[in-house]
Amino acid sequence: MPDWYKELEALFKGQIGKGEMAGTAYDTAWVASVPDPEHPDRPAFPQSLEWLRLHQHSDGSWGAEIEYYHDRVLSTLIACIVLAEWRTDEWMEYQIEAGLKSIWRNATGLQRDANDLVGFELILPTLLQRARALGFRLPYSHFDLYEVQRKRKLELIPQTALYSRYVTSTFSLEFLGDQADRSRLDGDLQEDNGSIASSPSATSYLLRQTGNGRARAYINTLVHRAKGAIPAAIPIDIFERAWSLYNLYLVENRFPPEALTCIDELAEHWTDRGVGFGTFSSVRDLDDTSLAFDMLVRAGRQPDPSVLQLYELEDHFMCQAYERNPSISAHAHLLDALSASPRFSGWQRMVDKTVGFLERSKTFGTFWFDKWHASPYYTTSHAIIAALETAPLLVQEAIAWLIQTQRPNGGWGYLADTTEETALSLQALIVYHRTGGAVPSKVFAQAVNYLERSAERQNAHYRALWLCKALYSPTWIVHSTVLGTLAMTQTL
């Protein structure tokens, strides 16, 4: 029998912290759009253009394998725009035509998705303007709603902050289109690694606008690292460390020696404002801060809990400044952090506020969706684990929902059964079982069988379910979830 715990420990000897993930069509298209500075009629990164051309779906669209309409529409739109800008052969014309037809079909599905993508309401109107200029025939009136949402979003952000790396909208800088103040693009926007908010697409936009040398070096490194396929964000080292440590800790409620370096690195990046998703992320957020705090406390460190109060609002907690919608999973991770924390002044108030928000945010009074993940199984599973100690009544219906929605093949999945969703659901049910909760043994047996025979696990290549400007998969976070869950089953 495999020693799943040893496999999980091995990840902490070299993989965790590298931030590896598969490329996205959206970010790859933006990199492919950058012209060669010496030959403007040619792409600077032909590898990315070739990758884009080879990864069109049979229905004409671009995007992740799992069909999420926001991802398919936005990825296809930028792909068609980029191909139209480089038109070099008849096959490109065919690809563009097939892509535009897929947008007509998929546009009506946008309302079916539980959440938008990051920056969608800012980026889509800008890309539609470019599509009009190229003469693309599209159902433009169908997207009028996003013009309204864009206006509301920009009303939340002070104009003086639009060119600051400390504001979340910078991650989607490409939304500025032709309206950018170029004199401010080379100001205080770039991170020390040359990127714009560690976003390849936003950095490619800057490169197109200004030819910035540091931005070019950042993109060039990514292209050669991944042979043209560009990830949604990089580096994501803090995010990856915190979530992987979470999956490791759940196995035996301890950290082995192999994790100490990862914990030290997390502690090194801790600040009095918390943390962001990566070393080169100037924006701090409640989600990464809560889980990093949680892991540091459980590792015996003593981060100041007052940092969590920086995100407190009247009846909930913000994940980031100027957000339109609160993050539900951030509240689940905050509840977990508060459960781990020594009691402090205001602790009970924060717990009550967090539980109250989670209670109000249930879908059908049962489970949770969140804006960072396409599946309710992610948010619901993490909420169950967080609440079992401090608010068990909050999650009783959610636990029943997990048990009852297991598929006949032993897996779980919202849009399709996946290894990640199966591991997440099983992980939560095992933690519930440890508290004395009743779970049918058949549920465990079928789920273990599903994970053990999973090709996704065997190849460490998982279907994209996380929401950024496109669907993506943080490889080692998901792999640590799967291995950690399998290790947990060996203690049943």
Q: For residue 317, what are the β-bridge partners? A: 312
Residue 22: which of 470, 489, 482, 487 has the closest Cα?
470
Q: For residue 274, what are the β-bridge partners? A: 271
Contact 492, 92 (CB under 8 A): no
CA-CA-CA-CA dihedral for 34, 164, 74, 110, to nearest 10: 180
Distances in whole angstroms, Cα of residue 444 to Cα of each of 5, 281, 411: 18, 39, 10
- 412 contacts: CB under 8 Å, gap ≥ 6: 377, 402, 405, 406, 418, 421, 422, 424, 425, 426, 447
**Tens-digit pLDDT string for the chain (492 aa):** 689 999 999 999 988 988 878 899 999 999 999 999 999 999 999 999 999 999 999 999 999 999 999 999 999 999 999 999 999 889 999 999 999 999 999 999 999 999 999 999 999 999 999 999 999 999 999 999 999 999 999 998 888 888 999 999 999 999 999 999 888 887 789 999 999 999 999 999 999 999 999 999 999 999 998 889 999 999 999 999 999 999 999 999 999 999 999 999 999 999 999 999 999 999 999 999 999 999 999 999 999 999 999 999 999 999 998 888 999 999 999 999 999 999 999 999 999 999 999 999 999 999 999 999 999 999 999 999 999 999 999 999 999 999 999 999 999 999 999 999 999 999 999 999 999 999 999 999 999 999 999 999 999 999 999 999 999 999 999 999 999 999 999 988
The answer, as to whether pTM is greater than 0.85, is yes
Q: Is the C-alpha dihedral spanning 151, 157, 158, 159 positive or negative?
A: negative
All structural domains of the chain, each given as residue ranges with its CATH number in brackets, are: 4-16+234-489 (1.50.10.20), 25-226 (1.50.10.160)
Planar angle of CA 145, 364, 338, nearest 5 degrees: 95
Residue 362: which of 400, 407, 336 has the closest Cα?
400
- 220 contacts: CB under 8 Å, gap ≥ 6: 45
- 417 contacts: CB under 8 Å, gap ≥ 6: 407, 409, 411, 450
45: left (phi over 0), alpha (psi -120 to 50) or beta: beta
Burial class (CB in 10 A: 0-12, 13-18, 19+), 221: middle
Contact 21, 226 (CB under 8 A): no
